[in-house]
């Protein structure tokens, strides 16, 4: 095992110092920022996420702000989902595609007002893309990265904790909806969201100088709920079938091939990048489906990722496996794969090769749990 060399090229979030003080042990790079992945005991972190509440430094989910008179048109043009009925204070999980309909990102899009939107990004250089598109299309907007950093509070007790801090009215907040608020003068956007299916919120800190203070306030209020540090949990998110863009999918995937078909609206009146290509995909049929695999192996922890594993059937490649974990709840080895539609529809058993040789794998629909 090697460690990562820090540099000003790789930004840390406002919560990084607090995370280090809390025992941060492992990180990855996401959006050219440090993203924590572990505090040294992944099973304890998993149990805390499932049973209590965890605090996550997810500042690497960077925002791109689109602000100005054409913000709504610009956000729609960048997004393969119908935004026409979106309300202020609402977020939506959306696909952003290139002109060939390939998915570039799967952000949470937040409508702060009629002329101000945030794309809360997965891992890719979307600020460059959004700036170039807005300028080339002549939209009357400013596209920039605001001083905004999400702090995750995830787990079944997250709602009680957030209600203690902000009031019981937050219990009425619907999924992906948000409020602009503050905590002892710290400016925030509070959103019911987060990259787990255990429930929770993200506190979008609007002034990075308060990072440690905000972390400490949440931890102090969370003590009675057994709060502890954590990070986006790889096992839980595979069990829940939450997409990790760029890892689970090959670079040429369209939104239908990463399980985002139900969030992709190809027949809206408004134009958006990739619309014609995605209409062709719908007309001709989707090539691959995003599915779960239950793999007959106990080698998940030694699996040789990176490098997607080829999924084989009768000696022919029929897909790729991008993530594989041991599921504590299912007591099985499970993975996320993109597999040819005919093979999924036929319900065939497939084969993947790991450190212990070839294993057979059963295809199942997502989520696992």
Nearer to ligand THG, 179 or 313 (CB): 179
Q: What is the distance between the alpha carbons of residues 362 and 369, in angstroms, rounded to a whole number?
A: 16
Compute the least distance from the CB of residue 158 to ligand THG, in Å.
13
Residue holding tokens 């791109």? 64
Nearer to ligand THG, 202 or 236 (CB): 202
110 dihedral zone (left: phi>0; alpha: psi -120 to 50; beta)? beta
Compute the least distance from the CB of residue 354 to ligand THG, in Å.
26
In this structure, the number of other CB atoms found within 10 A of the CB of residue 159 comes to 19
Nearer to ligand THG, 33 or 350 (CB): 33
Nearer to ligand THG, 61 or 351 (CB): 61
With b for 16 or more beta-carbon neighbours within 10 A and e for fewer, the 64-96 pattern comes to bbbbbebbbbbbbbbbbbbbeebeebbbbbbbb
Compute the least distance from the CB of residue 304 to ligand THG, in Å.
25
Half-sphere exposure of 37 (CA within 13 A, CB side): 11
Compute the least distance from the CB of residue 121 to ligand THG, in Å.
5
Compute the least distance from the CB of residue 313 to ligand THG, in Å.
27
Whether residue 141 contacts residue 47, with contact meaning beta carbons closer than 8 Å, is answered with no
In this structure, the number of other CB atoms found within 10 A of the CB of residue 246 comes to 18
Residue holding tokens 């093979």? 343
Interacting residue ranges for ligand THG, rule: CB under 6 A: 61, 93, 106-108, 120-122, 150, 193-195, 202, 242-243
Nearer to ligand THG, 149 or 327 (CB): 149
């Amino acid at each position: 095992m090697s460690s990562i060399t820090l540099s000003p090229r790789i930004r840390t979030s406002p919560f990084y110092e607090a995370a280090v003080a809390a025992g941060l042990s492992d990180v990855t790079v996401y959006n050219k920022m440090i993203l924590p992945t572990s505090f040294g005991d992944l099973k304890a972190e998993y149990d805390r996420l499932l049973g209590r509440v965890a605090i996550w430094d997810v500042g690497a989910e960077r925002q791109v702000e689109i602000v100005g008179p054409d913000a709504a048109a610009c956000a729609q043009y960048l997004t393969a989902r119908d935004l026409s009925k979106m309300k202020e204070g609402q977020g939506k999980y959306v696909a952003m595609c290139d002109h060939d309909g390939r998915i570039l990102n799967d952000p949470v899009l937040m409508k702060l007002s009629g002329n101000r939107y945030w794309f809360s990004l997965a891992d890719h250089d979307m600020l460059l893309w959004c700036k170039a598109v807005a300028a080339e299309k002549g939209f009357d907007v400013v596209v920039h990265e605001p001083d905004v950093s999400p702090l995750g509070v995830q787990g079944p007790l997250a709602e009680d904790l957030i209600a203690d801090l902000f009031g019981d009215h937050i219990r009425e907040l619907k999924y992906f909806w948000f409020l602009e608020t503050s905590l002892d003068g710290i400016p925030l956007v509070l959103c019911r969201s987060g990259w787990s299916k255990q429930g929770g919120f993200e506190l979008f800190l609007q002034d990075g100088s308060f990072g440690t203070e905000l972390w400490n306030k949440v931890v102090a209020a969370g003590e009675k709920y057994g709060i502890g540090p954590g990070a986006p949990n790889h096992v839980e998110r595979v069990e829940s079938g939450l997409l990790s863009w760029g890892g689970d999918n090959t670079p040429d995937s369209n939104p239908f091939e990463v399980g985002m078909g139900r969030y992709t609206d190809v027949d809206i009146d408004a134009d958006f990048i990739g619309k014609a290509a995605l209409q062709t995909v719908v007309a001709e049929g989707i090539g691959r489906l995003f599915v779960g695999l239950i793999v007959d192996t106990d080698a998940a922890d030694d699996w040789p990722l990176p490098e997607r594993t080829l999924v084989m059937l009768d000696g022919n490649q029929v897909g790729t496996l991008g993530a594989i974990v041991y599921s504590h709840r299912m007591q099985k080895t499970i993975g996320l794969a993109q597999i040819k539609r005919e093979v999924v529809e036929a319900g065939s058993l497939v084969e993947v090769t790991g450190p212990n040789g070839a294993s057979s794998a059963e295809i199942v629909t997502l989520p696992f749990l």
